Structure formats: structure tokens, C-alpha cells
A and B are shown apart, each in its own frame.
Chain A
Amino acid sequence: MRPSRLILIPALGFLALFFVYPLIEIFRQSLAPNGDFSLAPFETVLGDSFFLGRLWFTAWQALASTALTLALGLPSAYVFARYEFRGKTTIRALTTIPFVLPVVVVAIAFTALLGPTGVLNEALQSIFGLSQPPIRVLNTITVILLAHAFYNYTIVVRTVSALWANIDPRTEEAARVLGGGAVAVFWRVTLPQIAPAVLSAALLVFMFSFTSFGVVLILGGPEFATLEATIYNLTARLLRLPLAAALAIVQIVFTLAVMWTYARLQARTATPLSLQPQSAATRRIRGRRQRLLIGLNFGLVFLWLGAPLLALVERSFRGAEGYTFAFYKALENNAQEQFFFVSLSEALRNSLWFAAVTVLIAVPLGTVLAFAVARVRGRWRPIADALAMLPLGVSVITLAFGILIALDSGPLDLRASWVIIVVAHTLIAYPFVMRSVLSVVRGIDERLHEAAATLGASPTQTVRRVDLPIVSRAMLVGATFAFAISIGDFGAALLLSRPEFSTMNVAIFRYLSLPGGERLGAALAMSVVLMLVSGIGFLLIERFRYRDVGEF
């Protein structure tokens, strides 16, 4: 067997053990507890307008969220791809910060800005002398879409700008010379070339919005519920497992269909592009129009990403009597000597440790799977692709309960171990790595392999010396997301948490579980630390890039 296939064994083993087996177990126990498989739950789910309504709502809000995120993210992706300017890396790191923030904290920030007594409403009321707050977006579909865009903006910016930066800008100029106005050039020349990345980003945003949980429930209010939230309720609270399993399978089938469609589209759009090293395509900002364009873009981004974040920072310093560091000091000081108190340093250590291990597993796993999927030819490729992405479409609670009953004995009884947290993070994170690497692997010219072979490189050496260097940038993009997903996770860490492995997000949750101004302050201070630490993490990962290779 070729060594490149051997390396697939641990990857598939990981998925079989931590993903496939638990899922099969929970479905078996839910749908055929006595060995008799019953279709009744499916009939209930598919025949009930309530569940179908949930599926419909889930799908269209995900689609709308994706469209909004793309509309906001693409202009920024363009600016990041085409222009060189000071602070680019820092701004890009900032755009990823929302991704790691717990929903409850974001809800506090949104409320502080957009709520009935929020900054914006009060300002508008005092300017226009209105008696009622003019902006009423909380608990509406609008705020759900805004929040999804707030969270996922960075996916679009990072995924699309990575490819866009390598598209030959002269093809756009050629189109202009041939008579294309700005719209025609974008529509007919730019978009088709960046389509693989746009589709890829759209799929990820769609999946995140489709399985969104906290954003929909907390910001949208209880009248909005996604399929995921329904499955959670049926599983964890109501223990109506047959129904939950049927819904989870419906969700899986739906997401598989979406991903298969995506993979088909992707195959159609993927032509070997004439990619350029990024330096050839980026320019410095010149002229007033460009400055204005870029200023407008970042003005919008700062207003819309920065304002909620700044609101959080401001509130974390605002005490009853003016600004104070008290909340930050409280993070290290266990005044109540609680058993469950997590000091900042402990939480930080746990968060970083889990994130580091997640990155270390998810990046090789995603890369190996990307190469494997790229090798699949013909009509099986979209299927392989969709299957490899499946963890993004599976309900977290279904999987968690599956792990509970499947991995419950002998050396595999990991139920009380932190390993399960990292496994959960890895399952969400590796599809990002895979997506990011796959789009590059597919663009690798077959002639490079042939050239390497004629130079005496074995297939393994070819992968190591030709493919890996080319995909290294994509691996780093994937690593950024893996880091962000792990450090921003809340569900998996809370589903199984011991005081000694509380993460920053769990600590924030604990602070917010009892009333009191000091506890709110401490939660916000911890959130600010989380923002800072993840920002620094993103910057450090960016520094890993290999400058001599450029971004392909």
C-alpha cells in the first residue's frame, strides 16, 4: 500500500470512532431500541407541519444569512486581496474576533447598541425628539441575520480573499478594455474566477447558520427556532429520542444534499486558474477614489463589527462610579472561595491548551482528507466531498449523546475526559481545514507531479515537497479557524465540564448564571480577555506564513 494511503488510516479511524460509531449507536438506540426498526418517527416528523415549518425556517434563514454575509464580506475580501496597506494583518485578525465570542455576550453588546435603551436608539430619540425607540430589531429575524453575518463575516473575508489575491487582475482589465463596465466585469470575469472560494465560504456560512443555535434562540427570541434547537430540546430536555433521531436524520439528509449540490457546483466552477503570487496582484492604495472606497469599506466594517466589540470593552470598564479595573481584578480573585471558581489564568490555560490540541489534530486530519477527496475521480467525488463535510451538518447534541452511549467502556470510556472536548472541537474544525486545503489541492497543476516524478521524487516525497508547500497557506487559514472554533466553543465544553477544565467561555457562562453587577462586569472583562487572546492567537498564526512562497 502506498504510504499516502497509509496515512489515511488514522484519519478514517478517528472519524469512524468518534463520529460514525456514536451516530450509529444513538440512531440505533433511538429508532430500534428493541431491535425492531420503526419508520413511525419519520412519519411523525415529515407529516407534522410544525417540524416541516422548522425545517423551512431553518433553511431560508440560513440562505438569507449567507446572502447577507456574502454581501458584506465580498467587498472587504476584495480590499484585502487587492490592496496592500498598513495594519492589514491586524485588521484581518480583528475581523475574526466575533467568531469566538459567546452568544450571550454578543447579545449583551447588541442590546447595548440596538436595544430599546441602547446607544443608537437613545441618540436617534434625542436627535429627532422621538418618544419611542425607532429601531426595534431585537427578537426579529433582522437581528438573527445581522448576528449571523457578524459571526461569519470573517469566513467570507478569509476564504475569498485568499483566492482573490491570486487571480490575475489583468483579466479584469482585459474585460474592461473589451467594453465591460464595473458590473459586467465583476459578474462575468471576477466572480466566475473567485466562484470556488465564494461557494466554499457560502457553504460554510450556510452550514453554520443552518445549525445555528444560540444566535437564533437568544437574539431572535424563542419564537424562532432552528431544527438544531428543536433537536436539542427533544434530545436533552424532553428525551423524546425517536423523534429527535428522525429529525437529526432529516437534517443530515438535507445537509448532505446541500453539500452534494455544492460539490457538484464546485466541480463545475473549478478550472485551473492562472494564479499569480499575491505580490503581483496587490497594489498600494493610490488616489482619492481608492482611499475613499477602502475607507468606506472599513468604516462599515468597524461600525458593524467594531461597535459591538467596543461596547463590550467599554462596559467591562464601566463601574457604578466611573471607569474601573475592578472587574479585571476580580477575575483572579476567588472572593467567595467557590469550588467552581475558575481563575483567569486557569481558564486561559485550558482554552489555549484545548485550542492548541485541536489545531494539532484538525489540521493534519483536514489536510489528509482533502488530499484523499481530491484523489477521488468522477461521480463519487461530490459524494466523498459531502461525506467528509458531514460533521458540520450533524446536530451537536445528537453526536454528544451518541458519544455518551457508544464510548462508555474500557479504554474508550472517555466520557469524563477532556479528550472528548477536543474531539468535539476537532469534528467541527476539520471541515474548515479540509475546505480550505481542498480548494488549493484541486488547483495544483498535474504537471507539477509529473515534473517531480521525473526528478526522482517518490509519491510521498512529491506530496511533501510539492503539494504541502503549495497548500501550506491554506493549512494556516484552516488552522486559524480551528483555533477560533475551539477557543470560541461553548457547547461542547459545557456539555462536559469539570472545574479543572473550564475554558474562558465556560467561565463567562458561570459568571452570568447568578445576578449581580460585579458578576456581569467580570463576565464582560473575561470576554474582553477572550477577544484579546484570540486576536493575538490569530496574529501569531498569520506570522507563520512563508513569505518566500507567496500565497497560492
Chain B
Amino acid sequence: MPPLLEVRNAQLSYDDAPVLRDVSLELAEGEIFAVIGPSGCGKTSLLRVIAGLEQAQSGEVWLDGARIDATPTHRRGIGLMFQELALFPHLDVAANVDFGLRLQGLDATARAERVTEMLQLVGLPEHGARKVHELSGGERQRVALARSLAPRPRLLMLDEPVGALDRALREDLLAELGAILRSQSLTAIYVTHDQEEAFALADRVMVMQAGEVRQVGPPLEIYRAPADAWVARFLGRTNLIPGQVHPPLPSGPPSASPPPRVPSSPPSPSQRDGEGVRGRGRVRVHTPIGDFILPTPLPTDAAPGPITLLLGDERAHIERAADPSPALNTIVAEIVAQSFHGRLLRLSVRTGGHDLSFAVDPPPPGDAWGVGESVRITLDPAAIIMIPDGSS
């Protein structure tokens, strides 16, 4: 089946300042696709190019197997919910929702039905006669959503749809939004600067920076294996250490390190994958804070040379460091700060001039760690990711 939407090599610049550089993407029918990146990364411009509000200098946009670059916005059948909502201030709620239907030339009964249906869907069945300026922030968001959904767009694009709301409201609305999008079996592009939103909602996520696509993939894959140090940092994964790959090791179980003690969490899929990975090969990485041995998915990744290591904190094991000598896949570090976040304890540690941070199970009662203490952190090799990017 051909993709519903395809963008090929889109280039856009304003006054010689590049906004989109060679952006391509494919979107399957029914897929919810998130675009994330910091503000100014070009994600809104990408939506505007797809919607036809902006004309790319080069590149192609295909929808349903037809090229639509020259199709004016209003004939593309693509919905867009604006970050600023852009509700029509001169119309009431029902008329806002009705707007697209009216332009489709539907008869009055069908329109009225659809408006009622949409207002019910977004939970505002009684608000049809309200003026836009009488609504609360959350209600406006819902009206904007209803307005975008009403004409049944082939593709719905949402630009930071919950960005302006406070946290609690945002989470509620987000859950509802996901349910609505699935219930309408819509194909959607969801733009946000917040990866949690994207991960919670999307089938696939695209990370953009400075007009470029840095990585595309399912949320878990992106989280687990950021394509580069920048993506890792953008996702809040800041335990990045420069390292050197040693020549390949022979296959077999790790020799120097004890098998990691797995915490009480259930086995994750990656752990099962780990079995397969072990067969492909392992690589030894030398870093200023110790040496690490980790499985590599592909032997080619293990070419000797500078790389960056991302130290994941899943299943990390912490204990008081009786013996300060480093060992494989362990770090000995000094606690700089700690803060408790519900189930997990966030430890900020320093070792060899590097600041690292781990979310770990709190120590048993009566055995609290103190700032300034030395701890030994044992990492799960499967949570250590090699990023082929020397700079960190």
C-alpha cells in the first residue's frame, strides 16, 4: 500500500535562512506520527508546507499517490489545528465547527448533525451558542479540535495542540485526544516540543533539529537508541561519555563483570533481544570513567575509533563503594545531590569530571545515602548505547 502522505526532499528558507533542509517523510494510512524538536527547528514550517500555506523552494509533497505541491491549500483536504488555535472570533462555537462543512456545501441538516456530533465528541455538547471569547483555554482547544475534525480531513495535523495549557489539563486532554484520534481512525501528524506527549500518542516519532531530520522511528526505539548525542540530550538523556572502541572481542559471555543483578521489574523485551544480540558480538569501549563491554547489534558498528556512550539507568544497581577500584560496566562516583520523585530516587553523581544522573530504587529503610558518599553503580550492558558520534 502506498503511503498516505509522502514528503520528498523539502527545502524551505526565509530570506536565505534555511528552515527545512532536505526533509523527507512517509506516513501510512491510520498512523499517528509525531514530529518533535525544539522551537525553531522547522516543525511548524513542515506542517505549513504540507498544508500548502507555505511553498517549499524544492521538494515534493504527495498525498494519496498524487502530487499536491501545486494544489491550493483549500483543495488539499488536510486539516490543521493551529498552535494559536486561530478560532474565528466573530463566530460562535457552533459556527466555528460548521465553517469547513459549510464550505463543503453540505446541506443544513447534515451540517447540524455533524456539528452536534463533533461537539459531543470533544465534550462540549452545550457550548454551541457560546462566543469564542467566553470560553476557557481548554474549551477553546476542544473547539479548535472539533473544527479541524468536522470536515473529515484525509490527514489531520496538530501543531502543539495542548501546548498552552497547564499541566493537569494537558494530560487529561492528551489522553482524550489520543482516544479521539484512534476512535476516528485518523491519520495524524502531531507536532510538539515535548517528547512525553509524542511518545504517549504516536506510532512513530520524527526528531528534527535546525530544519533537519535527525531520527525517525517508533517511540521506544528512539528513546532507547537515540541516533546521535543531540537527540539523546533533547530526549533528556544526558549521561553521555566520550569513548574509544577497542578491537572486537571474541564471542562469549562477559568475562570480567558479574552478571548484572536485575531489579524487581519484569523482564523487558530488550532483555529477550539481548539473548540474540549476544550472538552477534560484543564491543569493549574505553572511557575516562572506566571500560564498558556491551552487545552490538551489528559488527560494523564496532569499528575501532571515537564514539559516545549513552549510559542508560534502566536496571542500574547502586551500592556503597567499599572498593573504589573501577570494574567493567561499573562506575564509582561521588553523590552530588539526590532528590526523591515518587517511586524513584534521582541521584546526581560526579566521576572523573563528568556529571551523571541516574533514577534508581531508593535504598532500604534506615540506610540512606548522603551527599559526598561514594557509590558503585553497576549498569546493564543492554542499557548502554553506543552513539556513532564522537562529539559530546
**Which residues does A use to contact B, with CB under 8 Å?**
168, 170-171, 173-181, 184-185, 188-189, 192-193, 195, 269, 271-274, 284, 286-287
Q: List 12 A-B contacts (CB under 8 A).
A: A168-B84, A170-B84, A171-B89, A173-B80, A176-B72, A176-B74, A177-B78, A178-B103, A184-B103, A192-B88, A271-B89, A273-B89
Q: Given contact pairs A192-B90, A274-B89, enumerate 11 new A-B contacts (beta carbons under 8 Å).
A: A168-B86, A170-B86, A173-B53, A173-B73, A173-B80, A176-B72, A176-B73, A178-B103, A179-B75, A181-B74, A274-B87
How extensive is the interface on chain B, given as a class?
A: 20 to 34
Instruction: Judge whether B90 and A271 touch: CB under 8 Å.
Output: yes
A374 to B74 alpha-carbon distance, docked (Å): 39
A168 to B87 alpha-carbon distance, docked (Å): 10
Instruction: Judge whether B72 and A181 touch: CB under 8 Å.
Output: yes
Instruction: Choose from A185, A193, A284 the contact partner of B15 (Cβ within 8 Å).
Output: A284
- Considering only residues 142-170 of chain B, those with a C-beta below 8 Å from chain A are 147-148, 151
- Considering only residues 226-247 of chain B, those with a C-beta below 8 Å from chain A are none
Instruction: Judge whether B88 and A179 touch: CB under 8 Å.
Output: no
Instruction: Choose from A176, A180, A272 the contact partner of B89 (Cβ within 8 Å).
Output: A272
Is B55 part of the binding interface, using a Cβ–Cβ cutoff of 8 Å? yes
Instruction: Choose from A177, A195, A284 the contact partner of B73 (Cβ within 8 Å).
Output: A177
Instruction: Choose from A168, A178, A181, A286 the contact partner of B147 (Cβ within 8 Å).
Output: A178
Cβ distance B305 to chain A, nearest Cβ, rounded Å: 45
Q: Contacts A170-B86, A178-B99, A178-B103 given: A271-B133 contact, CB under 8 Å?
A: yes
Name B57's closest neighbour in chain A (CB-CB).
A287
Q: Which residues of A contact B74 (CB under 8 A)?
A: 176-181, 184-185
A184 to B102 alpha-carbon distance, docked (Å): 10
Name B78's closest neighbour in chain A (CB-CB).
A177
Cβ distance B167 to chain A, nearest Cβ, rounded Å: 24
Cβ distance A82 to chain B, nearest Cβ, rounded Å: 14
Cβ distance A389 to chain B, nearest Cβ, rounded Å: 24
Q: Which residues of B contact A175 (CB under 8 A)?
A: 88, 99
Q: Which residues of B contact A170 (CB under 8 A)?
A: 82, 84, 86
Q: Which residues of A contact B104 (CB under 8 A)?
A: 179
Instruction: Judge whether A177 and B90 touch: CB under 8 Å.
Output: no
Q: Type the 1/0 row for B67-83, where 1 means its CB is closer than 8 Å to any CB of A.
A: 00000111101111010
A379 to B355 alpha-carbon distance, docked (Å): 70
Is B51 part of the binding interface, using a Cβ–Cβ cutoff of 8 Å? yes
Q: Type the 1/0 row for B287-308, where 1 means its CB is closer than 8 Å to any CB of A.
A: 0000000000000000000000
A173 to B100 alpha-carbon distance, docked (Å): 12
Instruction: Judge whether A178 and B86 touch: CB under 8 Å.
Output: no
Instruction: Judge whether A269 and B84 touch: CB under 8 Å.
Output: no
A178 to B133 alpha-carbon distance, docked (Å): 21
Q: Contacts A176-B53, A177-B80, A193-B89 given: A286-B14 contact, CB under 8 Å?
A: yes
Cβ distance B248 to chain A, nearest Cβ, rounded Å: 54
The 7 closest A-B pairs by CB, nearest first: A178-B100, A170-B86, A192-B90, A179-B103, A174-B86, A176-B73, A177-B80
Instruction: Judge whether B151 and A173 touch: CB under 8 Å.
Output: no
Instruction: Judge whether B89 and A179 touch: CB under 8 Å.
Output: no
Q: Which residues of B contact A274 (CB under 8 A)?
A: 87, 89, 133
Instruction: Judge whether B89 and A177 touch: CB under 8 Å.
Output: no
Name A274's closest neighbour in chain B (CB-CB).
B89
Q: Which residues of B contact A174 (CB under 8 A)?
A: 80, 82, 86-88, 147
A272 to B72 alpha-carbon distance, docked (Å): 31
Q: Which residues of B contact A171 (CB under 8 A)?
A: 86-89
Instruction: Judge whether B79 and A177 touch: CB under 8 Å.
Output: yes
Is B131 part of the binding interface, using a Cβ–Cβ cutoff of 8 Å? yes
Name B100's closest neighbour in chain A (CB-CB).
A178
Q: Contacts A174-B80, A177-B51, A179-B104 given: A188-B99 contact, CB under 8 Å?
A: yes
Cβ distance B145 to chain A, nearest Cβ, rounded Å: 12
Name A269's closest neighbour in chain B (CB-CB).
B90
Instruction: Judge whether B79 and A189 touch: CB under 8 Å.
Output: no
Instruction: Judge whether A178 and B151 touch: CB under 8 Å.
Output: yes
Q: Which residues of A contact B72 (CB under 8 A)?
A: 176, 181
Name B55's closest neighbour in chain A (CB-CB).
A287
A189 to B89 alpha-carbon distance, docked (Å): 9
Q: Which residues of A contact B147 (CB under 8 A)?
A: 174, 178
A286 to B75 alpha-carbon distance, docked (Å): 23
Name B131's closest neighbour in chain A (CB-CB).
A271
Task: Specify which of B55, B79, B87, B99 lies most central, judged by the most chain A CB atoms within 10 Å of its CB.
Answer: B99
Q: Which residues of B contact A168 (CB under 8 A)?
A: 84, 86
Q: Which residues of B contact A177 (CB under 8 A)?
A: 51, 53, 73-74, 78-80, 148
Cβ distance A473 to chain B, nearest Cβ, rounded Å: 20
Cβ distance B391 to chain A, nearest Cβ, rounded Å: 35
- Considering only residues 302-322 of chain B, those with a C-beta below 8 Å from chain A are none
Q: Which residues of B contact A273 (CB under 8 A)?
A: 89-90
Q: Which residues of A contact B84 (CB under 8 A)?
A: 168, 170
Q: Which residues of A contact B87 (CB under 8 A)?
A: 171, 174, 274
Q: Which residues of B contact A188 (CB under 8 A)?
A: 99
Instruction: Judge whether B90 and A193 touch: CB under 8 Å.
Output: yes
Q: Which residues of B contact A271 (CB under 8 A)?
A: 89-90, 131, 133
Cβ distance A282 to chain B, nearest Cβ, rounded Å: 14
Instruction: Choose from B86, B100, B133 the contact partner of A179 (Cβ within 8 Å).
Output: B100
A188 to B89 alpha-carbon distance, docked (Å): 12
Name B76's closest neighbour in chain A (CB-CB).
A177
Name A189's closest neighbour in chain B (CB-CB).
B88
Cβ distance A495 to chain B, nearest Cβ, rounded Å: 45
Name A181's closest neighbour in chain B (CB-CB).
B74
A58 to B147 alpha-carbon distance, docked (Å): 46
A192 to B73 alpha-carbon distance, docked (Å): 21
Cβ distance B113 to chain A, nearest Cβ, rounded Å: 18
A488 to B104 alpha-carbon distance, docked (Å): 51
Name A289's closest neighbour in chain B (CB-CB).
B55
Task: Specify which of A170, A174, A180, A269 lies most central, judged by the most chain B CB atoms within 10 Å of its CB.
Answer: A174
Name A275's closest neighbour in chain B (CB-CB).
B89
- Considering only residues 1-51 of chain B, those with a C-beta below 8 Å from chain A are 14-15, 51
Cβ distance B73 to chain A, nearest Cβ, rounded Å: 4
Cβ distance B4 to chain A, nearest Cβ, rounded Å: 17
Cβ distance B46 to chain A, nearest Cβ, rounded Å: 15
Name B91's closest neighbour in chain A (CB-CB).
A192
